[in-house]
Homo-oligomer: A and B are copies of this chain.
Amino acid sequence: MREDKECMCCDTVEVHEDLIKIVHETMPKETVLYDLAELFKVFGDSTRIRILFVLFEAEVCVCDLAEALNMTQSAISHQLKVLKQNKLVKSRREGKSIFYSLADEHVRTVIDQGLEHIKE
């Protein structure tokens, strides 16, 4: 993966080594970086985002989500699984239906920050 030799654009060796050192100190561990990327991947799909926007308004069952978003039950169910695995939503059984809701108020904050950036 590594280049065979370094470039020579930054011949001020001190600054260079400082950067490496600082980066090494402040960069989160591999597992954290991986989990962080996984989390944002979950937000990186418009179907899942639409599901979250519905859940911002109410606790709903799967079939209602499917109807509200005009998608098949299977597609919704698969995405709910992803959302649940990543702790973004939680579920509750009531008879034959299963109701989903936001697991965390943090979810709204992340979405809001994203919206802010869009409007820049």
- A: which residues have CB within 8 A of B? 1-3, 6-7, 9-10, 16, 19-20, 22-23, 26-28, 32-46, 49-50, 53-54, 56-58, 60-61, 63-64, 66-68, 70-73, 87, 95-97, 104, 106-107, 109-111, 113-118, 120
CB <8 Å contact, A66 and B106: no
**Once the chains bind, are A53 and B37 in contact (CB under 8 Å)?**
no
Residue numbers in B under 8 Å from A2 (CB-CB): 70-72
Please determine whether B110 and A36 come into contact, CB atoms closer than 8 angstroms.
Answer: no
Instruction: State in angstroms the CA–CA spacing of A52 and B67 once bound together.
Output: 39
Number of copies: 2
CB-nearest residue of chain B to A70: B2
Minimum Cβ distance to chain B for residue A73 (Å): 6
